[in-house]
Copies of this chain bind each other. A is one copy, B any other.
């Protein structure tokens, strides 16, 4: 969950997710929406989103088409909701679930 929230902690990345929310877009089209930074910077933002599984990449010829993974966003929404619904006793379970999914090895 920390990875997800960190990924959303950048305005450009949030905007990218909105751009590909309901359709696929190639990287160049996404980059064109950000005239103030280079295509490389956007490519790296896409890498962050991809590793957080917040977007899906599909290759079609030389293009890479990106689309939002709404399911991961739904998990973020559930996490934020859990501030209201999680009792103090459930706190440990939430923390453990977050730790498990962040891939810690023991």
Contact = CB atoms under 8 A, between A and B. Distances in A.
Interface of A: 1-2, 5-6, 8-11, 14-15, 17-18, 21-23, 28-29, 32, 68, 70, 73, 76-77, 80-81, 83-84, 86, 88-89, 91-95, 98, 106
B9 A9 contact: yes
Copies of this chain assembled into the complex: 2
Contacts of A6: 9
A92 B18 CA distance: 10
A9 B15 contact: no
Contacts of A2: 9-11
A84 B91 CA distance: 28
A29 B86 CA distance: 20
